[in-house]
Amino acid sequence: MAILAINGGERLIPPNTVKPWPPIDDVDRQYVMASLENPNHTFGPNCQKLQEEFGAWNGNKFVIATNSGTGALHMAVAAVGCGAGDHVLVTAYSWSSSATCILHHNAIPVFVDVDYDTMNIDPRKIEAAITPQTKAIIVVHLHGLAVDMDAVMAVARKRNLMVIEDACQAHGATFKGRKVGTFGHCAAFSLNANKCLCGGEGGLFVTNDEEIHKKALQVWSFGETRTPSQERDYHAYALGWMYRNDDLGAAFARAQLTKLDGYIARQRENARVFMDELKGVEGFTLPVQPAGHEHNWYNLNLRIVPECFGLDPKPDGGENSAKISTWRDRILKALEAEGVHTFMWQRFILPAMTVFQAKNAYGHGCPWTLPYTGPVDYDVHQFPMAQAHTDRHLCFAIPLRAPNGKDVAKLTAQGIRKVFDNIKELDLQRNPPR
């Protein structure tokens, strides 16, 4: 037993123990400085090389380097033929872009609850969510754990639906030995600074279908049919955006790609040490990795168990959810006081976002008021598993990433153990300190 740091005790993890992500070395400097000295700073040679190298690494025939994972997702929605008023199924719990990318092409998200164990879309609930207007499914490999793609693709084939993989967090994650981004009709990856493959900002659109690739290129570059690497006529043949990457960011991403396998191996080993250290601790559940799935551990989530503290576990999205979140925040503050790097990844489920509750993205209720679409219900009570996860999760990332090793992973877990072993020191009914 020990006095918690939040109550005046000694902090367990010294400041600056956890090193920042991503590690930068001479490989990064070499790639970036060479790009800086090159006269082409727009969509240059490093963008072309990044496309080739990532395609070879992940197993994709066509790759487009984009300015963000969000841009790549929008390209995917357009490229599989979704447009005004069409419905696209998507998980009720993810980053906002997983759903707002659908709105970007004037289509309409239809949410599906998650499987509580995996936090991913529940394949058993997909078919019931399909409407006459449904054209596609976006599956999100959340936090780096692959969705059960056998189950998803079976429903898609049965109902003639296109499948988009949101793999923005899932570089290197596998299902039955096969990397994500190779199951659906197309996929999107992110190169954002906090992703396992970092380019500062940026993204990657991938597909093995030549026609889908061509359609994605039109959205990517102003609606043109010829790319910047070809002789352009600068004529817009369809609605298009400007989602290209730049050479400097692509150079950084190329350098990081040379180290990506090592990063993922480090994350997997650190996650194993972290969870081994926490076995037997009461008050939370450890994450699940089903058979046939290999996590990349982009994020690792613990879920607090309300029953351990005599609290009502019901995820109602209202007063009880607010109460659970209040005592969860109290625990979060106690962990932070011990020097544990932890955070809340999302504090709300996607259907609760204002744009969906208001059903107004472009004004005049568009796209929900389009005459050729169908009704969609965003009652948050339809998604109890997503709400339960939202209320209870604690998220961990940087302590499991390179350059941090097993010692940091173990020390982080010991900080968690200290708080939960001394949980009675916290008055969970009080508001957390500000």
**Ordered DSSP codes for 353-390:** SHHHHHT-SSSTTTTTT-TTS------GGG-HHHHHHH
pLDDT of amino acid 231 = 66
Q: Can you tell me the distance from the alpha carbon of 266 to that of 406, in angstroms, rounded to the nearest whole number?
A: 9
pLDDT of amino acid 327 = 81
Which amino acid, 181?
Answer: G
In a domain, 362, yes or no: no
**Residues 268 and 314 grouped into a single domain:** yes
Which segments of the chain have a pLDDT < 50?
431-434
Q: Which domain holds residue 33?
A: 26-258
Question: Residue 1 corresponds to which tokens in the numbers above?
Answer: 């037993």
Question: Residue 88 corresponds to which tokens in the numbers above?
Answer: 């696209």
Q: Can you tell me the distance from the alpha carbon of 307 to that of 39, in angstroms, rounded to the nearest whole number?
A: 62
**If we measure between CA atoms, which residue out of 102, 83, 80, 81 comes closest to residue 91?**
102
In a domain, 55, yes or no: yes
**Residues 237 and 211 grouped into a single domain:** yes
pLDDT of amino acid 216 = 96
**Residues 252 and 267 grouped into a single domain:** no
Domain count within the chain: 2
- Characterize 60-93 residue by residue with b for buried, 16 or more Cβ atoms within 10 angstroms of its Cβ, and e for exposed: bebbbbbbbbbbbbbbbbbbbebeebbbbbbbbb
Do the beta carbons of residue 296 and residue 267 sit within 8 Å?
Answer: yes
**Residues 332 and 291 grouped into a single domain:** yes
- Residues paired with residue 204 on neighbouring β-strands, in sequence order: 65, 189
Do the beta carbons of residue 70 and residue 93 sit within 8 Å?
Answer: no
In a domain, 334, yes or no: yes
In a domain, 246, yes or no: yes
**Residues 57 and 168 grouped into a single domain:** yes
**Residues 84 and 150 grouped into a single domain:** yes
pLDDT of amino acid 318 = 67
Note the pLDDT tens digit of each residue in 278-329: 999 999 999 999 999 999 999 999 999 988 877 777 766 666 666 777 788 8
pLDDT of amino acid 317 = 63
Q: Can you tell me the distance from the alpha carbon of 179 to that of 114, in angstroms, rounded to the nearest whole number?
A: 21
pLDDT of amino acid 433 = 43
In a domain, 333, yes or no: yes
**If we measure between CA atoms, which residue out of 303, 312, 299, 301 comes closest to residue 284?**
303
Please identify, among 198, 231, 258, the residue that sits at the C-terminal boundary of a domain: 258
Do the beta carbons of residue 139 and residue 152 sit within 8 Å?
Answer: yes
Q: Tell me which DSSP letter residue 424 carries.
A: G
CB-based contacts of 254: which residues, under 8 Å, 6+ apart? Answer: 31, 46, 49, 50, 53
**Residues 47 and 104 grouped into a single domain:** yes
Question: Residue 428 corresponds to which tokens in the numbers above?
Answer: 């969970």
CB-based contacts of 399: which residues, under 8 Å, 6+ apart? Answer: 18, 270, 274, 340, 341, 408, 409, 412
In a domain, 416, yes or no: yes
Residue 223 has a CB neighbour count (10 Å cut-off) of: 16
Question: Residue 403 corresponds to which tokens in the numbers above?
Answer: 């350059």
Please identify, among 233, 258, 283, the residue that sits at the C-terminal boundary of a domain: 258
**Residues 47 and 36 grouped into a single domain:** yes
- Residues paired with residue 393 on neighbouring β-strands, in sequence order: 303
Please identify, among 239, 258, 277, the residue that sits at the C-terminal boundary of a domain: 258
First-to-last CA distance in the chain? 26
Assign residue 216 the CATH number of its domain: 3.40.640.10
Question: Residue 289 corresponds to which tokens in the numbers above?
Answer: 């990795």
**Residues 85 and 193 grouped into a single domain:** yes
**Residues 264 and 297 grouped into a single domain:** yes
Helix (H, G, I), strand (E, B) or coil at 207: strand
pLDDT of amino acid 239 = 80
**Residues 283 and 152 grouped into a single domain:** no
**If we measure between CA atoms, which residue out of 323, 319, 318 comes closest to residue 306?**
323
| Number of alpha carbons in the 13 Å side-chain half-sphere of residue 175 | 19
In a domain, 197, yes or no: yes
Alpha carbon of 106 to those of 33, 80, 82, 187, 249: distances in Å?
41, 14, 9, 19, 30
pLDDT of amino acid 136 = 98
Average pLDDT, the chain: 93
**Residues 312 and 412 grouped into a single domain:** yes
Helix (H, G, I), strand (E, B) or coil at 122: coil
In a domain, 370, yes or no: no
pLDDT of amino acid 434 = 43
Which strand (E) or helix (H) includes residue 54?
helix 45-58
Angle at which helices 406-421 and 319-337 cross, to 10°: 120
Q: Can you tell me the distance from the alpha carbon of 161 to that of 205, in angstroms, rounded to the nearest whole number?
A: 19
Helix (H, G, I), strand (E, B) or coil at 396: strand
Which strand (E) or helix (H) includes residue 415?
helix 406-421
pLDDT of amino acid 222 = 72
Q: Can you tell me the distance from the alpha carbon of 214 to that of 218, in angstroms, rounded to the nearest whole number?
A: 7
Helices (runs of H) and strands (runs of E) counted in the chain: 13, 13
Assign residue 405 the CATH number of its domain: 3.90.1150.10
